[in-house]
Structure 1
Amino acid sequence: MPDEVVRTLTVDGVQYAYRRLCRPAPETEPIVLLGGVFQGLHGWHPIDTTLNEKADVITLDYLGDGTRASAQYISPAQASRAVAQAVDDLGADRINLLGYSYGSVIAHQYALRHPERIARLMLGGVPTGATPEQQPYAQAIAATIAEGDKAKVATLLVEIMLCMDPDVEVPHRDLVYRCLRRTLLRHLHSPHAMVGLQRSLNAEIAVTQDRLPSVPTLVFSGVHDTLTPVPQQRAFAESVDGCQFTVIDSADHLVILERPAEVADLALRHFTEGIGSCIRVGVRSESVP
């Protein structure tokens, strides 16, 4: 088992924690993982253990994510300051940074402010703004939050994140559906979770239009992502100088749960500058203008 260190810090008067999986003689800079709103410190298995074979791996709990006794909404800009504080606390000159879904917005904010601290950047499931098709779901979630029906809220959240088209092949969709719904329901019973979720919905979280500095960047997406569709993510990748864009087959927005081996392999190759070499079947990389 790798050595594990958990540190508690405070930013803007709110406590948060980060976890470090230590690797003797690491082969690349520390890998910092920023995931979805409810992902938390221990939500990256088995990807974190695979990445830990090459580097120290750091995972974070988010400020005000609804899992602890604070209903305060913390913006991505504030969360990126928490990341900056954690990186300073690590004593790392530079990091490899992977942000997924909500975490990609935080990673984007951090990269804008601290490009000199990033060795390589990887963003997936990048929110670029709600599509017209998603508006009815968002309205239904808001109405159900107001009703206080946690079970229905959990169901709606899973259904907006998963590709529910029965004609589309997504591995282990039923299992992912059940596990994710159970996890979300557990979080929604935490103090202030429903309030925090509503504030997150009101914020319409998306990456800003600010142009990323020139750091080696990879954007990736599940091919059937209905929450952050492939065309939107490809367009975002085109706005980043020298960016590479990758699509992973048989996966949707929950690609990290559905294809963890492929995501981990992709990350290791990017973070060790081996992205140009042969990658796994079902992973398609392309350069974008």
Structure 2
Amino acid sequence: MEPCDVTTRVIHRRGLAFEVETRTSPSPRTAPVFVVRAGGEGESTIRPQAEALLSVADIIGVRIAGVSNPGTLPAHCGLGDLADGLAAVLDELGLPRVNVLGTSHGGEIAYRLAVSHPGRIDRVVLTGANGHRPRMPPGVTPAMAAARAESDRHGVAEEIVSSVVCLDPDRRVRGRATLQWLLKDLFNGADDNHLRQWTRCLQMMCEAPLPTGVSAPLLVVTGEHDSAIRPADSRALAAMSSPAVFATIQEADHWVFLTRTREHLDLTRRFLLDERLDHLPYLAALECFPHPSTHRPSAAAAEV
């Protein structure tokens, strides 16, 4: 792929700061791809995404101060406020409709945009997300976890990594050892500002309302061994949406977008172009909703 021009600007809306990075497709075939960036998405994620998707659509990546960029979220800001802020960014950019993508906590924000502003969305791709609240140990709040991290950073880092990386030796996960090392190093090296930002985001996710279905065509992707967001919960989100597809990628966990990048982006591209997804060799499972057997004939057809 030829290098493309990248334009970056910061948009302030509703007390929030959005860093917007735009890559223009030479021959777009579908609506722009609006990517809600997660905190861990760097060049290792962005470059292959551009190589895979820029041939079919403009790519607009958005980072939110206090979530995926340094900064502090306003007091009382929730996921709904972030979704409304993103819709205001679409207004500023003059984009009536987009395809929205998000991974991990970026996926949870992308999901809220899709359910809060359905008229702006063509298609949705959520990876490692379930539209629900994150699982916390019984009796543990995000603030309690953060307070403990101040005195036992190494111990908390070990617990966090074990909760988001599949460590079961009987389950094959590509890149597991590298991920363990990177995540431990990242958390152990985090300063107090990063810790406060992480706590604030986790608290916001814990306060999320219960999920509802997405009305736009939806693809929910997960690694078959995701231990952070259970595949069954991701499937449940797809099952309450219509039309929707739930897909699991082999030999991957929550970090499927990093460890099986090529396969994840191939699946995303096919879905955005409304191509067939069956018989892809890297999928462990593929399920469509509603199931073919659940389609009810119309009254007129029933009378024939």
Where on the TM-score scale, by shorter chain, does this alignment land: which range?
Answer: 0.7 to 0.9
In the other structure, the counterpart of 2:293 is none
How far apart are the structure 1 equivalents of 2:216 and 2:14? 28
Q: 1:135 to 1:201 in 2, by over 3 A?
A: farther
User: Offset of 1:223 from its aligned partner?
Assistant: 0.5
In the other structure, the counterpart of 1:179 is 182
Q: 2:7 aligns with which of 5, 8, 17?
A: 5
Q: Judge conservation of contact 1:242–1:288 (CA < 8 Å) in 2.
A: yes
Instruction: Establish whether residue 16 from structure 1 lines up as the match of residue 51 from structure 2.
Output: no
User: Offset of 1:144 from its aligned partner?
Assistant: 2.7
Q: Deviations over 1:104-159 (max 9, x none)?
A: 22112111222121111111212423447x44887784343342x55554443333
User: Offset of 1:198 from its aligned partner?
Assistant: 2.0
Q: 1:55 aligns with which of 54, 57, 78?
A: 57
Q: 1:213 to 1:166 in 2, by over 3 A?
A: closer
In the other structure, the counterpart of 1:237 is 238
Instruction: Establish whether residue 142 from structure 1 lines up as the match of residue 146 from structure 2.
Output: yes
In the other structure, the counterpart of 1:267 is 268
Q: Judge conservation of contact 1:222–1:252 (CA < 8 Å) in 2.
A: yes
User: Offset of 1:71 from its aligned partner?
Assistant: 6.1
Q: 1:276 to 1:153 in 2, by over 3 A?
A: same
User: Offset of 1:53 from its aligned partner?
Assistant: 2.4
The TM-score, its normalising length taken from structure 2, stands at: 0.82
User: Offset of 1:100 from its aligned partner?
Assistant: 1.8
Q: Judge conservation of contact 1:102–1:205 (CA < 8 Å) in 2.
A: no
Q: 1:21 to 1:278 in 2, by over 3 A?
A: farther
How far apart are the structure 1 equivalents of 2:240 and 2:150? 38
CA-based RMSD of the aligned residues comes to 2.8
Q: Which runs of 5 or more residues in structure 1 are unaligned?
A: none
User: Offset of 1:41 from its aligned partner?
Assistant: 8.2
In the other structure, the counterpart of 1:158 is 161
Q: Deviations over 1:85-119 (max 9, x none)?
A: 22223322211111222122211211122212111
How far apart are the structure 2 equivalents of 1:93 and 1:58? 14
Q: Judge conservation of contact 1:41–1:61 (CA < 8 Å) in 2.
A: no
Aligned residues: 285
Q: 1:135 to 1:257 in 2, by over 3 A?
A: farther
Q: 1:20 to 1:278 in 2, by over 3 A?
A: farther
Q: Judge conservation of contact 2:16–2:64 (CA < 8 Å) in 1.
A: no
Q: Which runs of 5 or more residues in structure 2 are unaligned?
A: 291-304
How far apart are the structure 2 equivalents of 1:254 and 1:131? 17
Q: Judge conservation of contact 1:243–1:287 (CA < 8 Å) in 2.
A: yes
Query: Which amino acid counterpart does residue 115 of structure 2 have in structure 1?
Result: L
In the other structure, the counterpart of 1:114 is 117
User: Offset of 1:269 from its aligned partner?
Assistant: 0.6
How far apart are the structure 2 equivalents of 1:254 and 1:287? 23
